[in-house]
């Protein structure tokens, strides 16, 4: 007879490390596993997507694409293999940094009428999230997600950090 093996106990490593979930975004053409790529904006509660840039810094993009005709050229981004690049090809679609549309920021004076309307819809939804208690507003000194270095950097409210 063989002795009954003592069950091995795994060290409780998961308690020491934060859990990271990897997944393939449904809209990803590259099908590359990524972590922390989606989530709500801590300021407005809307879904945002984090993408690395070529210099490995992170950029927060609005999850929807826009036609390039309604987005100023300096705000246009595109994704290639999960990496965010300034829009440079001839496709009529682009992505836009979330900070431009985030209703928690003061609207940029360069917003086109279409982007102003999108931003207004997001502001209404943020108001609903706040009124129903599904979004807790951050204090004005809380850090913001990284954004692109934009020529038309969105203005911030007085007392708010520059996001």
Q: Which residues lie near Zn ion (CB under 5 A)? A: 41, 43-44, 102
Question: Shortest distance, CB of residue 154 to Zn ion, whole angstroms?
Answer: 11
Question: Shortest distance, CB of residue 26 to Zn ion, whole angstroms?
Answer: 21
The answer to whether the beta carbons of residues 118 and 101 sit under 8 Å apart is yes
Our CB check for Zn ion shows the closer of 24 and 155 to be 155
Our CB check for Zn ion shows the closer of 43 and 51 to be 43
Question: Shortest distance, CB of residue 132 to Zn ion, whole angstroms?
Answer: 17
Alpha helix locations (H) across 102-155?
113-131
Our CB check for Zn ion shows the closer of 88 and 161 to be 161
Question: Shortest distance, CB of residue 47 to Zn ion, whole angstroms?
Answer: 9
Q: Within a 13 Å sphere around the CA of 105, how many CA atoms are in the beta-carbon half?
A: 24
* 113 Rama class: left (phi>0) / alpha (psi -120 to 50) / beta: alpha
Our CB check for Zn ion shows the closer of 44 and 94 to be 44
The two tokens of residue 54 are 């070529």
Q: How many CB atoms lie within 10 A of CB 94?
A: 22
């Amino acid at each position: 007879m063989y002795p009954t093996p003592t069950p091995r106990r795994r060290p409780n490593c998961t308690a020491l490390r934060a859990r990271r979930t990897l997944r393939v975004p449904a809209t990803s053409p590259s099908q590359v596993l990524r972590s922390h790529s989606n989530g709500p904006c801590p300021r407005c509660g809307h879904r945002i997507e984090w993408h690395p840039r070529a210099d490995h810094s992170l950029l927060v993009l609005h999850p929807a694409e826009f036609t390039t005709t309604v987005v100023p050229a300096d705000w246009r981004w595109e994704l290639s293999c999960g990496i965010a690049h300034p829009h440079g090809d001839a496709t009529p679609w682009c992505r836009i940094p979330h900070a431009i549309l985030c209703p928690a920021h003061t609207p940029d004076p360069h917003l086109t009428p279409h982007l102003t309307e999108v931003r207004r819809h997001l502001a209404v939804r943020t108001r609903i999230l706040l009124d129903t208690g599904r979004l807790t507003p951050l204090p004005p000194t809380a850090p913001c997600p990284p954004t692109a270095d934009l020529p038309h950097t969105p203005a911030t409210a007085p007392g708010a950090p520059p996001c």
